Structure 1
Amino acid sequence: MFHAPQTPILAAPRALLTLPLLALLPDTAPAQERRPSHCIAIADATPGLQYIQKASFREPVAEFSVRLTYVSHSSYLLQTPGGLSAITDYAGYHGNVDFIPDVVTMNHAHSSHFTSAPDPAIPHVLRGWSETRGEAVDHHLDLGEMLIRNVSTDIRSWDGAEENGNSIFVFEVEGLCIGHLGHLHHEPNDDQYAALGRLDVLMVPVDGGLTLDTASMVRVVERLRSSIVLPMHWFSDRSLSDFLAGVSDVFAVVDEGENALEISLRDLPSRPTVHVLRPAYLREAE
């Protein structure tokens, strides 16, 4: 269900829910209280109408908007009007440019999703796993213009399953709720869906098996029913095509060969839409 764009400012919706930080084994792991989030709320109904525009990563972001640039693999660059920036599943390289993001998030299922030596100039490095194996990490970074939080999930590992080894990161900015599924290895349970809240924009791995198989990932996407879905983490157009075929009954599909979108709350499409972006490392304008 969509929400009504009541204001372009990060205002609190009608109801805020305090929800548990959900473990995958709720019978054995105690729940922790989550801090309030404007995304964890009952959504209203009407999306915006205007279309999305693309822009270079060096250009200012329009007021009340967020820019998303597909950099590589599972890495997206998020930028705000005030100049804040975050890179998801950061593996240590984002292009041959002089650019230090304010925040990087990482997951450790594979080395292509994290770096053990992030640039010390990066102010905030958010790891999606805890140093204590199996323990859920709890991020709630409020930078004023951007709030970043996480919901822990399990991953497969060489020696079996690892509880809480992945994080779904949620970025709350300019009234939008933007989710990055990371290296998701299982469908979230009901508590985890509740902890995510509404997600206007969803970055989803569509490799077809290294994360979730295509049918399972389609179920996740259709349940979240985000206004905009951005595929990532595919190794051939075959798995991408399989995913697009699986969601085409519900979602419109747009593929214009671009690698960036600029989105505002009032511009969300009336029909849920998959926007296929093509990865490209950051580079200076020619």
Structure 2
Amino acid sequence: MEKLIEQKKSQPSPVIGSTRLSHRDDRFPRIVQVGDVAYAQNKNNDRIIAAHYYGGLHEDAGEVKISYYGMSAFHITTPKGLEIFIDPWKNPCDPAWGGIWFGNRMPMTHCDIGLVTHSHFDNNAYEMLDAGLLMRGMTGKYSFADVKITGLADKHIAETESEVYTREVMEVLYPFPNVDFEDRDNTIYVVETGGLKIVHWGHNRQNPPEDIWEQLQNVDIAILPVTDDGRQLTPEWADKIAQKMNAKVVIPCHYFIEGINIENHGWGEAADKYTLAREHTVLQDATVTITPESLKDHKQHVMYFGGVVNFEKLEHRAKKMTDSVAKVPEVKPVWENA
């Protein structure tokens, strides 16, 4: 095993459509598919079929659950049990992106619908989703079981207005030579379920066209990539966006988390100052349960996961890495119990 690991570490970066190790430094590497075969999934569609026939996977629980997996990765469970995952992350395959950015990796995670907002490595790890359905950049409306998803196609942020991440710095980190290049695209997702309207901003620019804003009114939960140093959105821009959407709750994301992000590898600060300066709740668990009733008195209230994520983090790189996998619900034909 040790010899295999050393051999794999010395191999050049994989090309599109190749098979590679899931992580160059994984103690127990797992072979996954990337590039044009990243959609190969190790599961069937029994849950999707069941949800199609019965409008869900169990009785209406009357609540929505949101779990945080670090970066911009969120797992949403609808009242009838449908599981949606947005923006799984991984270390870059291409050394041009600076090598290893994460000291941990996101575990293989079950979902029924996997969504990706844009094609950057910290948002598009399809291979880490055990998904029944995968969509990147989905534009338009999609309704299934007890969820409606609207995809609003726009562009990735290119000018952060941060004192740290200036246009010059961003052009080095994220070169945008042409607006037609795929990695400048971004899709804002609006997830409606259980009487809640949830917006996942992705890494969208701050000033999308007015027709997009018209579809982002009276939002219950806005998931925004806001950090104290403004790597994507500055606190000031997050406030403006939340106000324009009339959001009841803001959930920060895409910030530095000790045990996941490696210091000085593209990550700066968390969102502690942003959170504490506003009406807020610091969440003690990686999953929050929400109903429309629970949000009725909120106005741009910040719900902050901080360093709490829905899997075990590594304390430091020297700690032995394990091939941990998130808890996967048993996948069987639900109609057997109907």
Q: TM-score range by the shorter chain?
A: 0.5 to 0.7
- The separation in 1 between residues aligned to 2:192 and 2:83, in whole angstroms, is 12
Matched, 1:210 2:231: yes
Shift of 1:118: 6.3
Q: Runs of 5+ in structure 1 lacking a partner?
A: 1-59, 129-136
- The separation in 1 between residues aligned to 2:294 and 2:287, in whole angstroms, is 15
Shift of 1:91: 3.1
Return closer, same or farther for 1:257/1:118 CA change in 2, 3 Å cut-off: closer
1:22 alignment counterpart: none
Matched, 1:226 2:247: yes
Kindly report the root-mean-square deviation, in angstroms, between the aligned alpha carbons of the 2 structures: 2.8
2:145 alignment counterpart: 144
- The separation in 2 between residues aligned to 1:142 and 1:239, in whole angstroms, is 35
Shift of 1:117: 4.5
Structure 2 contact 118–202 (Cα < 8 Å) conserved: no
2:303 alignment counterpart: 275
Q: Which structure has the higher relative contact order (CA within 8 Å, separation 6+)?
A: 1
Return closer, same or farther for 1:139/1:94 CA change in 2, 3 Å cut-off: farther
Using structure 2 for the length normalisation, give the TM-score: 0.55
Q: Percent same amino acid at aligned positions? A: 18
Structure 1 contact 187–217 (Cα < 8 Å) conserved: no
Structure 1 contact 179–203 (Cα < 8 Å) conserved: yes
Look up the equivalent residue of 1:86 and give its one-letter code. Answer: I
User: Which residue, 178, 190, 193 being the options, matches 1:170?
Assistant: 190
Structure 2 contact 71–89 (Cα < 8 Å) conserved: no
Look up the equivalent residue of 2:207 and give its one-letter code. Answer: E
Alignment of 1:1-286 (within 5 A): 63-91=61-89, 94-95=106-107, 99-108=109-118, 110-115=120-125, 117=127, 122-128=131-137, 138-155=139-156, 156=158, 157-160=174-177, 162=179, 165-207=185-227, 208-235=229-256, 238-244=269-275, 248=278, 252-272=279-299, 273-277=301-305, 278-281=308-311, 283-284=326-327
Q: Which SS does the other structure have where 2:215 is aligned?
A: helix
CA-to-aligned-CA distance 1:120-159 (integer Å, 9 cap, x gap): x62221212xxxxxxxx52422112111111122124413
Structure 1 contact 205–233 (Cα < 8 Å) conserved: yes
- The separation in 1 between residues aligned to 2:240 and 2:155, in whole angstroms, is 18
1:42 alignment counterpart: none
Larger Rg: 2
Q: Runs of 5+ in structure 2 lacking a partner?
A: 1-57, 91-104, 159-173, 258-267, 312-324, 329-338
Using structure 1 for the length normalisation, give the TM-score: 0.65
Return closer, same or farther for 1:215/1:161 CA change in 2, 3 Å cut-off: farther
Q: Which has the higher helix share?
A: 2
